């Protein structure tokens, strides 16, 4: 075992890390700035100085930067050495030379690493008496505020933005003490991960701009552990709230998933919960006009409707497991629809099946980072699963690590490893119809239509395992690509194949699975990852149910009296004509949602559901990880969790319909007391989902008999904030579904379960850097264990299916004379439903265009003739797009258009 001596005390540690990590893991208060667990060491700030002695007899030793010094067994260091302390205090003093004394008005205040480190080093007297240098700030767009005077030049921002996230529009300018970090000119930061600057920057240079408008000090914010709802990756977040509003989203560390970073859609997409589009009251259609009604009336109205005849439920991949399952309990399994179209549901279920059958590994995002050969097959992950794209970007660095090892350079020595690996080959192959943000780091990119990509995929599978079916008629270029990709994957220790549902192509996913399982024959760590579209798509795939087409058929046959639609905007899935037909065929429409969607206009009853921030529940991510989100905000009464509405409806229905009452009683729906009961019932009803119960501890979880606090001990203003209404102390609100007290009373420790961590703070560390204290090993698992639970069992290596998936190899794409293949142009900002209701995200969404191959450039506007009508759009040529293909940002143009189709395209204005 490796041990080091810190200030005279022996500490066990681990080889391969640096002294700064070792000290932090030993619980020492050693200040630092430029080092970051995910960014490694560069030795720029010089803040982490300690004295190191060469042996027990060395009395003098020398100052070293802990972050730049590898741990060696028996190393002797002193943190509490007078000279080392003086140096560290000096470093802070130098940083403060130009740092403004604006803490009272700085939004970093109270969670500022610079504040913490200043206090930690003991610097408290200003001795520099000359003028400070000042900088001009820039407008960096709707997400991030810029206040350059606060900069201490730790270089973290550019290292994260450029080296880690691949952005190129943020840079360091000028030199000496006028170094400036910003853009070449004012304008929105272009990288999809710009929001992380807010957490990466150890001071207040980059702050959360939307938060600024509803600013609250960290100590006055309530925090709730939660899960992002803006794609299927399932990044862990903390929702910060005060009173009845969500103020911001920050990252919640999950070692396996998002780790330290979120994408901007996740961080800034929460605006929909406070938006005007919220439904806040039960509404009933009276004479064709929606009018607010008391909850009781609304519920009784439903009871009367239910007496009219069969009730069918439509769930949604953006609703929680609990909401979907309780809807199923309300209407019965035979009348339960997942709320997905045939294509969507088939793809989702195929993804689920392929993953569960995969003999290799279903890697977490963190595991993807160490993949050393990656094939992306027909999915623009940067748009559909942005955080996953960031992990793939890290995987590209793998080949440089053995080179660093050979040069005896530790892998965390960031700048040095990048120097050594500057010409290391990439192991990333990207086969997509259109360019992606990852292209610049790929070994090879190939542009083709989904069917042709699938063909290449099957060919790669065959090349790896000759017993897989062959693909004929490949072009020479395709053959070379097959060779190159197959060779790279076969040479990898941890190959990975990524595909997904973006193009609604089962063949693509089958091809991906065929390659991954072919690889798994010789490389057990061979990974398969399939990207799903929404936050609970995988949950629904596991739950199952009718497709929307099946519901349509029942409706047409007049078999539906009442339709209960939970959190599903049908106009995003069904053509306008189909929606009209459905709404006309069904006499009673009940919509339960937090957000006003077009069908609400025609609904008989609209019930206000809680948004993810206002209730608790479970989502299953695309890798089959069940994760719990907890209530952060306590909305005014009529608003409640979807499942509680189902319960209310069931109770009312039971009052008037004895038959239904009996059926519903059997499901337990009316008797559930809290969320834990729903989950337990779900587990009983669907064994495959039984593991969900372990996603987080239940509401009765206590530490030392106490609930968990969701505010810091310093929280102030509980009474003051309402003093314009009443000066009396208000009892803090509470939820029966969580183990939290929504106040500063309660337990909180760094080793609490990570699924319950409401925020990070430990003595002396008030910023997000305090996270170090919550981890066993820095960058490793949390002290309290892991958050969430994988529902898919580990594969049985002995059970090797023989290419069950390598069927239906599509024919090569032949371009049609009179029409083009329209593919969805999925966008980071613009395609996802809820985030577009968030003003800063909407502001970053650019207007829709029609992207056409460069050769096809013609008129400035063209008209696309889709099944739902003609859409005229400005034309944007896109280099690399295959012939005969156009890209259209589906939901921005034609809401229900999701998957490829052939369509006619004409110059704008021409008669059709």
Nearest to 21 by CA among 46, 1, 44, 38: 38
The interface partner of residue 35, options being another protein, ligand FES, none and the CB cut-off 5 to 8 Å by kind, is ligand FES
Q: Which is nearer to ligand FES, 157 or 355 (CB)?
A: 157
Of 7, 38, 139, 169, which lies in the binding site for another protein, with binding defined by CB under 8 A? 169
| Residue 623 CB partners (closer than 8 Å, separation 6+) | 234, 355, 362, 363, 364, 529, 538, 790, 792
Q: Which is nearer to another protein, 237 or 416 (CB)?
A: 416
Task: Decide if residue 157 touches another protein (CB under 8 A).
Answer: no
For tokens 């003739």, name the residue: 865
Give the interface size with another protein as a residue count (CB under 8 A): 53
Bridge-partner residues for 741, per DSSP? Answer: 709
Terminal CA-to-CA distance of the chain, rounded, Å?
A: 77
Distance of alpha carbon 250 from alpha carbon 455, whole angstroms:
42
How far from 153 is each of 149, 291, 517, CA to CA, in Å?
A: 10, 57, 48
Q: Which is nearer to another protein, 90 or 292 (CB)?
A: 90
For tokens 């995969």, name the residue: 358
Task: Decide if residue 76 touches another protein (CB under 8 A).
Answer: no
Provide the 10 A C-beta neighbour count for residue 591. Answer: 27
Distance of alpha carbon 48 from alpha carbon 15, whole angstroms:
19
Of 35, 155, 612, 672, which lies in the binding site for another protein, with binding defined by CB under 8 A? 155
Chain residues 94-113 in contact with another protein, contact rule CB under 8 A: 94-95, 97-98
- Find the residue with minimal CB distance to ligand FES: 67
| Residue 154 beta carbon to another protein: minimum distance, rounded to whole angstroms | 8
519 contacts 495 by C-beta, under 8 angstroms: yes
Q: Which is nearer to another protein, 72 or 470 (CB)?
A: 72
Q: Which is nearer to ligand FES, 35 or 629 (CB)?
A: 35
Task: Decide if residue 90 touches another protein (CB under 8 A).
Answer: yes
756 contacts 252 by C-beta, under 8 angstroms: no
State the Cα angle at 265 between 385 and 828, rounded to 5°. Answer: 55
| Residue 97 beta carbon to another protein: minimum distance, rounded to whole angstroms | 5
| Residue 178 beta carbon to ligand FES: minimum distance, rounded to whole angstroms | 20
| Residue 91 beta carbon to ligand FES: minimum distance, rounded to whole angstroms | 9
The interface partner of residue 63, options being ligand FES, another protein, none and the CB cut-off 5 to 8 Å by kind, is another protein
The interface partner of residue 720, options being another protein, ligand FES, none and the CB cut-off 5 to 8 Å by kind, is none
Distance of alpha carbon 390 from alpha carbon 844, whole angstroms:
20
Distance of alpha carbon 478 from alpha carbon 455, whole angstroms:
10
| Residue 159 beta carbon to ligand FES: minimum distance, rounded to whole angstroms | 11
| Residue 881 CB partners (closer than 8 Å, separation 6+) | 433, 434, 447, 851, 852, 853, 854, 887
Distance of alpha carbon 211 from alpha carbon 678, whole angstroms:
34
Phi, psi at residue 423, to the nearest 5°? Answer: -115, 15
State the Cα angle at 86 between 82 and 88, rounded to 5°. Answer: 120
State the Cα angle at 712 between 707 and 713, rounded to 5°. Answer: 85
In this chain, which stretch among 307-315, 414-422, 708-716, 863-871 interacts with another protein, using CB under 8 A? Answer: 414-422
Q: Which is nearer to ligand FES, 80 or 808 (CB)?
A: 80
Task: Decide if residue 175 touches another protein (CB under 8 A).
Answer: yes
Of 346, 415, 762, 845, which lies in the binding site for another protein, with binding defined by CB under 8 A? 415
Task: Decide if residue 560 touches another protein (CB under 8 A).
Answer: no
Distance of alpha carbon 509 from alpha carbon 805, whole angstroms:
9
The interface partner of residue 67, options being another protein, ligand FES, none and the CB cut-off 5 to 8 Å by kind, is ligand FES
Chain residues 247-306 in contact with another protein, contact rule CB under 8 A: none
Of 76, 179, 275, 307, which lies in the binding site for another protein, with binding defined by CB under 8 A? 179
The interface partner of residue 95, options being another protein, ligand FES, none and the CB cut-off 5 to 8 Å by kind, is another protein
| Residue 170 beta carbon to another protein: minimum distance, rounded to whole angstroms | 6
In this chain, which stretch among 228-236, 282-290, 413-421, 492-500 interacts with another protein, using CB under 8 A? Answer: 413-421
Q: DSSP letters along 70-91, please?
A: B--TT-EEESS-HHHHHHHHHH
Q: Are strands 311-314 and 562-566 parallel, antiparallel or unpaired?
A: parallel
The interface partner of residue 212, options being ligand FES, another protein, none and the CB cut-off 5 to 8 Å by kind, is none
Task: Decide if residue 58 touches another protein (CB under 8 A).
Answer: no
Of 423, 704, 729, 796, which lies in the binding site for another protein, with binding defined by CB under 8 A? 423
| Residue 420 beta carbon to another protein: minimum distance, rounded to whole angstroms | 5
Distance of alpha carbon 567 from alpha carbon 683, whole angstroms:
22
Q: DSSP letters along 329-342, please?
A: HHH-GGGEE-S--H
In this chain, which stretch among 84-92, 318-326, 448-456, 489-497 interacts with another protein, using CB under 8 A? Answer: 84-92
Of 20, 25, 40, 46, which lies in the binding site for another protein, with binding defined by CB under 8 A? 46
| Residue 177 beta carbon to another protein: minimum distance, rounded to whole angstroms | 5
Task: Decide if residue 713 touches another protein (CB under 8 A).
Answer: no
Task: Decide if residue 173 touches another protein (CB under 8 A).
Answer: yes
Distance of alpha carbon 285 from alpha carbon 287, whole angstroms:
6
Distance of alpha carbon 613 from alpha carbon 710, whole angstroms:
14
Task: Decide if residue 72 touches another protein (CB under 8 A).
Answer: no
| Residue 118 beta carbon to ligand FES: minimum distance, rounded to whole angstroms | 15
Task: Decide if residue 420 touches another protein (CB under 8 A).
Answer: yes
Q: Which is nearer to another protein, 168 or 483 (CB)?
A: 168
Bridge-partner residues for 40, per DSSP? Answer: 36
79 contacts 50 by C-beta, under 8 angstroms: yes
Q: What 3-state DSSP class applies to 225?
A: strand
Q: Which is nearer to another protein, 47 or 712 (CB)?
A: 47
Distance of alpha carbon 194 from alpha carbon 166, whole angstroms:
11
Of 171, 585, 843, 901, which lies in the binding site for another protein, with binding defined by CB under 8 A? 171
Site residues (vs ligand FES, CB under 6 A) = 20, 32-35, 43-48, 65, 67
| Residue 395 beta carbon to another protein: minimum distance, rounded to whole angstroms | 20
Provide the strand spans (E) within 55-177. Answer: 62-65, 76-78, 144-146, 171-173
Distance of alpha carbon 25 from alpha carbon 54, whole angstroms:
22
Chain residues in the site for another protein (CB under 8 A): 42-47, 49, 62-65, 68, 86-87, 90-91, 94-95, 97-98, 127-128, 130, 152-153, 155, 168-180, 183-185, 407-409, 413, 415-416, 419-423
């Amino acid at each position: 075992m490796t041990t080091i001596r810190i200030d005279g005390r022996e500490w066990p540690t681990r080889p391969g890390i640096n002294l700064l990590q070792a000290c932090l893991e030993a619980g020492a208060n050693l200040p630092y700035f430029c080092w970051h667990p995910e960014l490694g060491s560069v030795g720029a700030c010089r803040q982490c100085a300690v004295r190191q002695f060469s042996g027990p007899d060395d009395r003098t030793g020398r100052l070293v930067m802990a972050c730049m010094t590898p741990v060696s067994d028996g190393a002797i260091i002193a943190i509490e050495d007078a000279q080392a302390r003086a140096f560290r205090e000096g470093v802070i003093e130098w940083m403060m030379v130009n740092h403004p004394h604006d803490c009272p008005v700085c939004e970093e205040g109270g969670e500022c690493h610079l504040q913490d480190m200043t206090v930690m080093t003991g610097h408290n007297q200003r001795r520099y008496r000359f003028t400070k240098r000042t900088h001009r700030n820039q407008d960096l767009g709707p997400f991030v505020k810029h206040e350059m005077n606060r900069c201490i030049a730790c270089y973290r921002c550019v290292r994260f933005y450029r080296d880690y996230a691949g952005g190129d529009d943020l840079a360091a300018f000028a030199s000496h003490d006028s170094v400036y970090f910003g853009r070449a000119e004012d304008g929105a930061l272009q990288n999809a991960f710009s929001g992380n600057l807010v957490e990466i920057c150890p001071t207040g240079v980059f702050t959360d701009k939307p938060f600024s408008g509803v600013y609250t000090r960290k100590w006055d914010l309530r925090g709730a552990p939660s899960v992002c709802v803006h794609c299927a990756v399932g990044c862990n977040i903390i929702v910060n709230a005060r009173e009845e509003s969500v103020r911001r989203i920050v990252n919640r560390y999950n070692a396996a998933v998002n780790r330290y970073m979120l994408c901007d859609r996740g961080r800034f997409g929460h605006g929909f919960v406070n938006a005007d589009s919220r439904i806040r009251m039960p509404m009933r259609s009276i004479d064709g006009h929606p009018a607010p009604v008391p909850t009781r009336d609304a519920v009784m109205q439903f009871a009367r409707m239910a007496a009219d005849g069969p009730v069918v439920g439509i769930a949604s991949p953006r609703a929680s497991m609990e909401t979907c399952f309780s809807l199923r309990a309300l209407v019965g399994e035979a009348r339960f629809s997942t709320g997905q179209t045939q294509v969507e549901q088939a793809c989702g279920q195929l993804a689920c099946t392929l993953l569960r059958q995969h003999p290799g590994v279903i890697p977490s995002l963190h595991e993807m980072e160490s993949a050393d050969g990656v094939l992306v097959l027909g999915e623009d992950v940067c748009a559909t699963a942005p955080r996953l794209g960031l992990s793939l970007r890290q995987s590209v660095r793998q080949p440089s690590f053995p080179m660093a090892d050979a040069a005896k350079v530790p892998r965390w020595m960031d700048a040095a490893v990048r120097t050594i690996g500057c010409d290391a080959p990439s192991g990333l192959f990207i086969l997509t119809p259109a360019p992606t943000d990852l292209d610049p780091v790929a070994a090879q990119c190939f542009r083709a239509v989904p069917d042709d990509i699938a063909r290449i995929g099957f060919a790669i599978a065959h090349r790896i395992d000759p017993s897989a079916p062959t693909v004929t008629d490949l072009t020479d270029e395709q053959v070379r690509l097959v060779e190159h990709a197959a060779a790279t994957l076969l040479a990898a220790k941890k190959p990975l194949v990524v595909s997904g549902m973006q193009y609604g192509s089962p063949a693509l996913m089958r091809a991906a699975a065929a390659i991954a399982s072919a690889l798994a024959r010789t490389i057990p760590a061979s990974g398969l990852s399939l990207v799903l579209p929404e936050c609970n798509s995988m949950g629904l795939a596991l739950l199952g149910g009718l497709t929307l087409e099946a519901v349509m058929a029942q409706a047409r046959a007049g078999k539906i009296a009442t339709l209960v639609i939970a959190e599903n905007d049908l106009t995003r899935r069904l053509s306008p004509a189909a929606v009209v037909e459905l709404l006309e065929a069904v006499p009673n429409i009940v919509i339960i949602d937090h957000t006003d969607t077009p069908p609400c206009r025609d609904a008989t009853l609209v019930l206000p559901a809680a948004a993810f921030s206002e209730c608790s529940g479970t989502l299953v991510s695309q890798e089959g990880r069940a994760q719990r989100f907890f209530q952060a905000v306590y909305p005014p009464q009529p608003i409640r969790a979807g499942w509680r509405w189902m319960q209310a409806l069931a109770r009312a229905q039971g009052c008037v319909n004895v038959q239904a009452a009996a059926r519903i009683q059997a499901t337990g729906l009316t008797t559930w007391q809290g969320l834990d009961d729903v989950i337990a019932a779900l587990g009983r009803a669907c064994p495959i989902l039984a593991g969900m119960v372990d996603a987080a501890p239940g509401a009765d979880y206590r530490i030392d008999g106490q609930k968990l606090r969701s505010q810091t001990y310093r929280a102030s203003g509980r009474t003051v904030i309402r003093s314009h209404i009443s000066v009396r102390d208000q009892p803090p609100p509470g939820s029966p579904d969580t183990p939290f007290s929504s106040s500063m009373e309660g337990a909180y420790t760094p080793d609490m379960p990570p699924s319950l961590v409401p925020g990070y703070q430990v003595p002396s560390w008030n910023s997000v850097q305090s996270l170090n204290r919550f981890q066993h090993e820095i960058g490793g698992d949390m002290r309290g264990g892991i958050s969430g639970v994988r529902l898919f069992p580990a594969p049985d290596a002995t059970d090797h299916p023989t290419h069950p998936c390598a069927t239906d190899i599509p024919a090569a794409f032949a371009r049609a004379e009179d029409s083009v293949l329209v593919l969805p142009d999925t966008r980071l900002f613009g395609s996802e439903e809820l985030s577009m209701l968030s003003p800063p995200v909407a502001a970053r969404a650019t207007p829709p265009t029609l992207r056409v191959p460069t050769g096809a450039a013609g008129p400035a506007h063209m008209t696309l003739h889709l099944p739902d009508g003609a859409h005229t759009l400005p034309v944007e040529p896109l280099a690399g797009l295959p012939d005969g293909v156009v890209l259209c940002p589906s939901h921005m143009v034609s809401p229900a258009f999701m998957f490829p189709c052939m369509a006619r395209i004409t110059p704008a204005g021409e008669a059709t």
